[in-house]
Amino acid sequence: MFRRDLGCAIWVLRNKPEYNRLCDLSDTTTYYSKPLSQYGFNAKTGEWNLKLFPVTQTDADVRNKI
């Protein structure tokens, strides 16, 4: 039986720069996942809660938000 979500990973790294790069990538994904969840993105289902996502109604609204 193949299990899709194991919940863990084992990484074998050859040197310190590889470890540092992996840490940077982890920090980056954590940083960018927070805004997505605040806008209603559910990572488990891959769906958006459109009530939390700010949708502009007119072009003037877009110009005001920039």
The pLDDT tens digits of the residues spanning 46-57 come to 888 877 776 667
Please tell me the predicted confidence (pLDDT) of residue 1.
47
User: Residue 2: helix, strand or coil by DSSP?
Assistant: coil
Domain boundaries, the chain: 16-65
Q: Is the pTM value of this prediction over 0.85?
A: no
Question: How crowded is residue 6: how many other Cβ atoms within 10 Å of its Cβ?
Answer: 6
Whose CA is closest to 26, among 45, 13, 41, 42? 13
| CA 38/CA 28 separation, integer angstroms | 16
Cα distances (angstroms) measured from residue 7 to each of 13, 50, 57, 59, 60: 20, 28, 40, 43, 45
